[in-house]
Amino acid sequence: MEDKAQIQEAIKVQGEVVRKLKSEKANKQQIDEEVAKLLELKAQLGDDGKHQFVLKTAKGTRDYNPKQMAIREKVFNTIIHCFKRHGAETIDTPVFELKETLTGKYGEDSKLIYDLKDQGGELLSLRYDLTVPFARYLAMNKITNIKRYHIAKVYRRDNPAMTRGRYREFYQCDFDIAGQYDAMIPDAECLKIVHEILSELNLGDFCIKVNDRRILDGMFAVCGVPDDKFRTICSTVDKLDKMSWEDVKKEMVNEKGLSEVVADQIGEYVSMQGGMDLAERLLQDQKMSQSKQACAGLSDIRLLFSYLQLFQVTDKVVFDLSLARGLDYYTGIIYEAVLTQAGVDPVSTDTQNGTPGEENVSVGSVAGGGRYDGLVGMFDPKGRKVPCVGVSIGIERIFSIMEQKAEASAEKVRTTEVQVMVASAQKNLLEERLKLVTELWNAGIKAEVMYKKNPKLLSQLQHCEESGIPLVAILGEQELKDGVVKLRVVATREEADISRADLIGEIRRRTRQA
């Protein structure tokens, strides 16, 4: 195939051209043109289906291997069980939405949305989160109350640090309560759920910070921040978990144009942390009490804490005025859970790229959410609002931690649930093995047989050791004559002859706990 070789040569040359332009930091248009030529050449090759493929997954994505899947299943089971305990239903939505459904929902982050190619028909984008599709679903089906969870992948064209367990394709795991209810009861249940899940997953100590958008806005107002700067100052405050106050202040003054005095007043408030007492104190605060918005938020925080006491979760909840959260659509209470034990911090794996000691500051957020009473109304033709509050579990970070734990632990992660391997000690027993394994399958026993006519007993036993299968049912000429099976415990190597009639019962009995 001369053609193919020629194209490959051309690709090589063109690749050099692109690299050179990039290293020279040539202008973008020029680079783009040369990259387009390169892709064109590659596409020519691609069509014959025979060239050597680039063996990789798309940037920012990954496969899950069986071990990762076993861990993922365990985590999902814990979380789903909790959602179900709280009476949630589940829904699913398509992976892509009409582009306009997502437009205007994510502020600056909209640039991170993946668009599909226009192949004729509608303009589509991959979902960026599960909240906007949920709101679209509610409006489209005129649903005014529902308690639902949704676990699915979302897509962001980010440049994530993958060592931190962040990807372009990642799971979100959302629980939301939609409906017109009495204040703070569903909000408190969301926090109860976070508390239950993080406790059950055994991730170490954690803290759930709460605040309220109205308190932030009220605070900005009484400190003298101009109205049109609320959102941008809010996003600067949001950086306090990663930056020191000094740096945050610098950004407020130098980049966002606040006066030192205003910034310092904000600084005083955002250093405050407490519980119901702090909410009460701020309701009396001379400045704060001038803002109706802030007072509404503070009263709700006070009410929230009274419910949290009944739910027995105040030990982990802190009212923290520095909590801001980026997303535009929040209208009331907001919260975020962080792990406070450095030992299991997934962020610490790449501290070589950070400031020494930084890991104490940027402990990972593992859940977050808040109230968004306006989002569904954006989709309703008549603007009818459906108040919503929800929480998103930071499942990818939790996976990373669980994987690290599994790595560190002596216990092997099993990737199958096979209870028994049907093996033979001699040759020519394939038929007998297949008959027996059929009996077991038909009785609902999880069983395996090697796909060889005459496998060695040793290799059959080795497979059990490797994949953690607890029992082996061994057939031989003698066993067949006697109407028994030799049942071997892999861990202890104990063997016992069990009659064929008793075998299924015996396997069930021995693997009940497993």
What is the footprint of its own copies within residues 426-465 (CB under 8 A)? 430-431, 434-435, 438, 441-442, 444-448, 451-453
Q: Is 357 in the site for its own copies (CB under 8 A)?
A: no
Q: Is 292 in the site for its own copies (CB under 8 A)?
A: no
Site for its own copies (CB under 8 A): how many residues?
104
* Residue among 46, 352, 335 nearest 193 (CA): 335
Considering beta carbons, is residue 262 or 333 the nearer one to its own copies?
Answer: 333
- Give the gyration radius of the chain's Cα atoms: 29
Amino acid at site 98: L
Q: Is 196 in the site for its own copies (CB under 8 A)?
A: yes
What span, in angstroms and rounded, lies between the C-alpha atoms of 505 and 514?
A: 15
What span, in angstroms and rounded, lies between the C-alpha atoms of 335 and 313?
A: 14
Give the one residue of 136, 164, 325, 486 binding its own copies; rule: CB under 8 A: 136
Q: Is 169 in the site for its own copies (CB under 8 A)?
A: yes
* Residue among 91, 184, 94 nearest 138 (CA): 91
Q: Is 311 in the site for its own copies (CB under 8 A)?
A: yes
Give the one residue of 30, 77, 90, 202 binding its own copies; rule: CB under 8 A: 90
* Residue among 2, 91, 19 nearest 390 (CA): 91
Q: Is 175 in the site for its own copies (CB under 8 A)?
A: no
Are 454 and 428 a contacting pair, CB within 8 Å? yes
DSSP string of 226-261, one letter each residue = -GGGHHHHHHHHGGGGTS-HHHHHHIIIIIT---HH
Q: Measure the CA angle with vertex 126, ends 28 and 94; round to 5°.
A: 170
Q: Is 466 in the site for its own copies (CB under 8 A)?
A: no
Q: Is 15 in the site for its own copies (CB under 8 A)?
A: no
The one segment of 227-235, 275-283, 289-297, 412-420 that binds its own copies by CB under 8 A: 412-420
Binding residues among 32-71 for its own copies as defined by CB under 8 A: 39, 42-43, 46-50, 52-59, 61-66, 69-70
Report the 3 state secondary structure along 389-421.
EEEEECHHHHHHHHHHHHHHCCCCCCCCCCCEE
Q: Is 30 in the site for its own copies (CB under 8 A)?
A: no
Considering beta carbons, is residue 180 or 244 the nearer one to its own copies?
Answer: 180
Binding residues among 97-126 for its own copies as defined by CB under 8 A: 97-101, 103-105, 114-119, 121-124, 126
Considering beta carbons, is residue 137 or 335 the nearer one to its own copies?
Answer: 137
Are 157 and 168 a contacting pair, CB within 8 Å? yes
Q: Is 179 in the site for its own copies (CB under 8 A)?
A: yes
Find the shortest distance in angstroms from Cβ 449 to its own copies: 8
